[in-house]
Amino acid sequence: MFSYKFSLFELYVLFFILVLQRPMATTRAEDDTESHEVAEVDNNWWRHAVFYQIYPRSFMDSDDDGIGDLQGIISKLPYLAETGITATWLSPIFKSPMVDFGYDISDFKDIHHEYGNIDDFEELILQANSLGIKIVLDFVPNHSSDQCEWFKKSAAREEGYEDFYIWADGKINANGEQEPPNNWQSIFYGPAWTWHPEREQYYYHQFTKEQPDLNYRNSEVIKAMDEVILFWLDKGVSGFRVDAVNHLFEDPDLKDEPLSGKTEDPKSYDYTQHLYTKDLPEVYDMLQHWRALLDDYSQTHGGPERIMMTEAYGDIKYLMDYYENKEGVKGPQFPFNFLLLTDLNSKSDARDFVFNIQKWLTYMPRNHVANWVMGNHDNPRIASRFSSNSVDAINMLIMSLPGVAVTYNGEEIGMEDFRDISWVDTVDPPALNAGPDKYKLVSRDPERTPFQWSAEKNAGFSNADKTWLPVHPNYEELNLELQKATEKSHYTIYKDLVQLRKSEVLQQGHTRLEVFNRNVFAVIRSLKGDKSIITIINVGPEEEVVDLHDILDDVKQLTVLISGANSIYEKGNAIAVEEVTNFIMAPQEAVVCMIE
């Protein structure tokens, strides 16, 4: 079927032409690991980066307690460098009672003891930087742990701390009983208010009752959090992923929220419309304040731009003003784009994909950087959300799109959710709140199981007898070691993609999206003076045949750059013009080609 096969040498030449063709003024430091020590400041380091999210508890355990830790991460830095990624973001590593696995912080300036200590952290930064990898930390400003000194002092009405949190008196109902101040619900099920017997008031918590919300209407709280940011910047972090930012402010009058009509269950978060607890305009002020703090730090301390990327699930118009408001005031470098995570699933067809990708690009203000989040510790994995056959196609898609790609650890090997975690082994707080009958509907444990490094005990994650979450039983067949040894695996494809993404056409090129039919679509990236790259994706369950001439003028031949594990195409294949007319795509297959 193919008119020509490339030799190894030709492939090498091809790679050379494609990737190293021109000096890349803007991204040199990230492309050349040897040059990271050159004092040249690279403010573009983040603009086309793959941000690899590490969930520290599940990444690598160095001390055999069944819990991942900083030394574990350090031991795997060479692996990260080998994949070609240049930036990571770490879920929280701070001191915590671990009710919400680190998202309940009791000391914002200390490392959690199970993960190591501040020396380990300094070593991590040093080693990562020496491998050309930037470290971004999770900044969790909305709430602390109830074990945080601030909360204890606030509960005791200690001077200066009285209003650090959101306190309110209860209401007395018709039966003379005490009730929470209003009808606000926690995201994790049940009332967002908990009675504090010492203070004799209710406190507000958007998440678990062990995560009281800080009061951002108090300038002392803002100051305290600025210090947290500066503390970690001084340790050498390159920026922050900022947690749950759209929950930073609530209506000061504590008005009841109108009912949504979506559910009869008054304990459900969906019971009310969140007019007074979410996406308040004051959120912009805080984000702009933090952006100014980071910009000021970068300027006064030199070095590359320190960045922030925010987590908020919400209306796209509201999110776009995070980038920059109408007056041109900037917030985060980018708000996470969750459209491909929340609005696409195994039922989505080619039109849904293109529509959602285009949506972000359409709404985004000019001269900003797009981003594509395909997974995180709060959502089902690619293999489980789509299908295990879709992993390569989905990775090819996000790597072909412009801007930042975000990979959740394990997605490079196509790890699967472990849906059969028993009730006894369940630890995620919303799952515990839901109870033994309903926990599987909300549990985030399935996507948080330990990284599958090898076929050894506990998938090579730990030598402990019991790991904090069970290892997925499929680890003997699905692990990194095996995929490294297989010529074409999710991992080798992922690695090729990260490399290809460093080409100028994928970094700077114009983006065009085309729908062929209900199942097949394409992303075309083109740059004047460069050969264009096309990624063709069949998201459907059947083989499809499309005519690429429908969307490409003047194509003479395609050269396959990357293809999926089960693809009929091989890297280096040249596809002649006749075959371009009847281009065969296997089910759930994708292929990345250079257009000649």
* Binding residue for Mg ion, selected from 31, 42, 61, 411, defined by CB under 5 A: 61
Looking at the Cβ atoms of 65 and 378, the one nearer to Mg ion is: 65
* Pairwise CA distance, residues 452 & 484, whole Å: 12
Q: Taking the alpha carbons of 371, 375, 377, 378 in that order, is the dihedral positive or negative?
A: positive
| Nearest distance in Å: CB 467, Mg ion | 10
* Binding residue for ligand GLC, selected from 135, 140, 228, 586, defined by CB under 6 A: 140
Answer yes or no: are the C-beta atoms of 461 and 450 closer than 8 Å: yes
With a CB cutoff of 8 Å and minimum separation 6, the contacts of 559 are: 6, 14, 572, 573, 574, 575, 593, 594, 596
φ, ψ of residue 436 in degrees (nearest 5):
-60, -20
* Binding residue for ligand GLC, selected from 55, 89, 94, 103, defined by CB under 6 A: 103
Answer yes or no: are the C-beta atoms of 158 and 149 closer than 8 Å: no
Number of residues near ligand GLC (by CB under 6 A) = 9
> Which residues ranging from 516 to 555 are in contact with Mg ion (CB under 5 A)?
none
Answer yes or no: are the C-beta atoms of 500 and 89 closer than 8 Å: no
Question: Look-up: residue for tokens 């919300």?
Answer: 213
For 220, 241, 242, 294, 462, the CA distances from 234, given in Å and listed in that order, are: 21, 17, 18, 12, 32
Q: Is 63 in the site for Mg ion (CB under 5 A)?
A: yes
Answer yes or no: are the C-beta atoms of 34 and 514 closer than 8 Å: no
Looking at the Cβ atoms of 251 and 378, the one nearer to ligand GLC is: 378
Q: Give the containing element (helix H, strand E) for 533.
A: strand 533-538
* Pairwise CA distance, residues 383 & 478, whole Å: 12
Q: 206 exposed, middle or buried (CB, 10 Å; 0-12, 13-18, 19+)?
A: buried
- Site map (CB under 6 A) of ligand GLC, residues 340-379, x = contact: -------------------------------------xx-
User: Encoding tokens for residue 455?
Assistant: 């076929």
Strands (E), 133-206: 134-139, 167-168, 171-172, 178-179, 193-196, 201-204
- Site map (CB under 5 A) of Mg ion, residues 225-264, x = contact: ----------------------------------------
Using CB under 5 A, which of the segments 58-66, 502-510, 524-532, 545-553 binds Mg ion? Answer: 58-66
> Which residues ranging from 321 to 380 are in contact with Mg ion (CB under 5 A)?
none
Q: 480: helix, coil or strand?
A: helix
| Nearest distance in Å: CB 313, ligand GLC | 8
* Binding residue for Mg ion, selected from 29, 67, 523, 593, defined by CB under 5 A: 67
Partner in contact with 36, chosen from Mg ion, ligand GLC, none, beta carbon below 5 to 8 Å by kind: none
Q: Is 93 in the site for Mg ion (CB under 5 A)?
A: no
* Pairwise CA distance, residues 17 & 269, whole Å: 54
Number of residues near Mg ion (by CB under 5 A) = 5
Partner in contact with 61, chosen from ligand GLC, Mg ion, none, beta carbon below 5 to 8 Å by kind: Mg ion
Q: Is 244 in the site for ligand GLC (CB under 6 A)?
A: yes
CB burial of 402-420 (b: ≥16 within 10 Å; e: otherwise) equals bbbbbbbbbbbbbbbbbee
Partner in contact with 244, chosen from ligand GLC, Mg ion, none, beta carbon below 5 to 8 Å by kind: ligand GLC
Q: Is 279 in the site for Mg ion (CB under 5 A)?
A: no
Partner in contact with 65, chosen from ligand GLC, Mg ion, none, beta carbon below 5 to 8 Å by kind: Mg ion
Q: Is 69 in the site for Mg ion (CB under 5 A)?
A: yes
Q: Is 243 in the site for ligand GLC (CB under 6 A)?
A: yes
Looking at the Cβ atoms of 431 and 590, the one nearer to ligand GLC is: 431
Looking at the Cβ atoms of 100 and 392, the one nearer to ligand GLC is: 100
Partner in contact with 490, chosen from ligand GLC, Mg ion, none, beta carbon below 5 to 8 Å by kind: none
| Nearest distance in Å: CB 428, Mg ion | 20
Neighbours of 576 (CB within 10 A): 15
Q: Is 65 in the site for Mg ion (CB under 5 A)?
A: yes
Partner in contact with 100, chosen from ligand GLC, Mg ion, none, beta carbon below 5 to 8 Å by kind: ligand GLC
Q: Taking the alpha carbons of 323, 325, 327, 329 in that order, is the dihedral positive or negative?
A: negative
Q: 568: helix, coil or strand?
A: coil
Looking at the Cβ atoms of 163 and 378, the one nearer to ligand GLC is: 378
| Nearest distance in Å: CB 427, ligand GLC | 12
Q: Is 240 in the site for ligand GLC (CB under 6 A)?
A: no
Instruction: Show the CA angle centred on residue 60, arms to residues 58 and 66, nearest 5°.
Output: 70
Partner in contact with 378, chosen from Mg ion, ligand GLC, none, beta carbon below 5 to 8 Å by kind: ligand GLC
Using CB under 5 A, which of the segments 65-73, 222-230, 326-334, 525-533 binds Mg ion? Answer: 65-73
Amino acid at 496: D
For 88, 90, 241, 418, the CA distances from 69, given in Å and listed in that order, are: 15, 11, 19, 22
Looking at the Cβ atoms of 380 and 540, the one nearer to ligand GLC is: 380
Looking at the Cβ atoms of 29 and 287, the one nearer to ligand GLC is: 287
Partner in contact with 140, chosen from Mg ion, ligand GLC, none, beta carbon below 5 to 8 Å by kind: ligand GLC
User: Encoding tokens for residue 140?
Assistant: 């969790």
Q: Taking the alpha carbons of 460, 466, 469, 472 in that order, is the dihedral positive or negative?
A: positive
Partner in contact with 459, chosen from Mg ion, ligand GLC, none, beta carbon below 5 to 8 Å by kind: none
Residue nearest to Mg ion (CB): 69
Strands (E), 400-468: 404-408
Comparing CA positions, the residue from 277, 227, 237 lying closest to residue 257 is 277
Using CB under 5 A, which of the segments 67-75, 190-198, 498-506, 544-552 binds Mg ion? Answer: 67-75
Residue nearest to ligand GLC (CB): 103
Query: Which residues form the catalytic set?
Result: 243, 311
Partner in contact with 69, chosen from Mg ion, ligand GLC, none, beta carbon below 5 to 8 Å by kind: Mg ion
| Residues of this chain that bind ligand GLC (CB under 6 A) | 100, 103, 140, 207, 243-244, 311, 377-378
* Binding-site ranges for Mg ion (CB under 5 A): 61, 63, 65, 67, 69
